[in-house]
């Protein structure tokens, strides 16, 4: 039997790296996707088994996403699990957000999730099997001060995820939306200082909770999990 394959976007650090480690422990071939190759290499070096591949990619480019996912299918095989974890955020009052920040958040957080999901849906439907994990954040559940466009991108990802639930309800494809609060990751570099990130969650803990809820269980389906800070 061929090895199970997981594709994780935003795998260069934080939650993506933690999830890569968990799937590697389970014996998956882990496809690490991110914009910075050196960070993907760092993640790969810490994996417990050497079944992995590294794929530098900007998920906001539909053309590049199609190319990389096709390469994965050709070289590694069918994708069993997709984790849409890549994300970016710029935080300021709505009127102060520069145009490029608006584009980046919508392009990466929303369009990136859509483009990557499009690349696995047809194959998963054909096999009637697969798992899609959309890492969304609690910013997809409620509006927040200085996070207007970040929330807009995450509300969009939530709408996409909830629509997938409906589209796939008669299949064995499992879609889960993970809505978590702030974590101690590089995401906050330059935004919060150490005292402000002290109370945030550790990405390993969040990864453990996601993995518990992604597990296939008889007569039970978790379609969303909310993980909040104290």
Q: Is the dihedral of CA 141, 62, 14, 73 positive or negative?
A: positive
Q: Is 192 noted as a catalytic residue in this protein?
A: no
In degrees, rounded to 5, the angle at the alpha carbon of residue 76 between the alpha carbons of residues 81 and 46 is: 70
Kindly name the residue from 23, 52, 150, 179 that is annotated as catalytic. 150
Provide DSSP, 44-74: HHT-SSS-EEEEE--TT-HHHHHHHHHHHHH
CA 2 to the chain's CA centroid: 24
Residue 136, classed as helix, strand or coil, is: coil
Active-site residue list: 150
């Amino acid at each position: 039997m061929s090895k199970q394959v997981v594709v994780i976007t935003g795998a260069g650090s934080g939650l993506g790296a933690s999830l890569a480690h968990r799937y590697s422990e389970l014996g998956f071939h882990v496809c690490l996707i991110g914009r910075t190759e050196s960070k993907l290499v760092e993640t790969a070096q810490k994996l417990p088994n050497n079944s992995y591949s590294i794929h530098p990619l900007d998920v906001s480019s539909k053309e590049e996403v199609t190319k990389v996912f096709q390469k994965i299918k050709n070289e590694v095989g069918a994708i069993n699990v997709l984790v849409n974890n890549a994300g970016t955020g710029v935080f300021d009052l709505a009127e102060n957000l520069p145009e490029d920040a608006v584009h980046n958040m919508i392009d990466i957080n929303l369009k990136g999730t859509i483009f990557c999901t499009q690349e696995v849906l047809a194959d998963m439907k054909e096999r009637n099997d697969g798992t899609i994990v959309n890492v969304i954040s609690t910013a997809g559940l409620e509006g927040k001060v200085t996070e207007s466009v970040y929330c807009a991108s995450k509300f969009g990802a939530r709408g996409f995820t909830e629509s997938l639930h409906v589209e796939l309800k008669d299949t064995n494809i499992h879609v889960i939306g993970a809505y978590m609060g702030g974590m101690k990751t590089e995401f906050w570099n330059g935004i919060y200082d150490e005292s402000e990130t002290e109370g945030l969650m550790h990405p390993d803990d969040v990864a453990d909770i996601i993995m518990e809820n992604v597990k296939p269980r008889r007569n039970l389906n978790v379609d969303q999990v909310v993980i909040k800070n104290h």
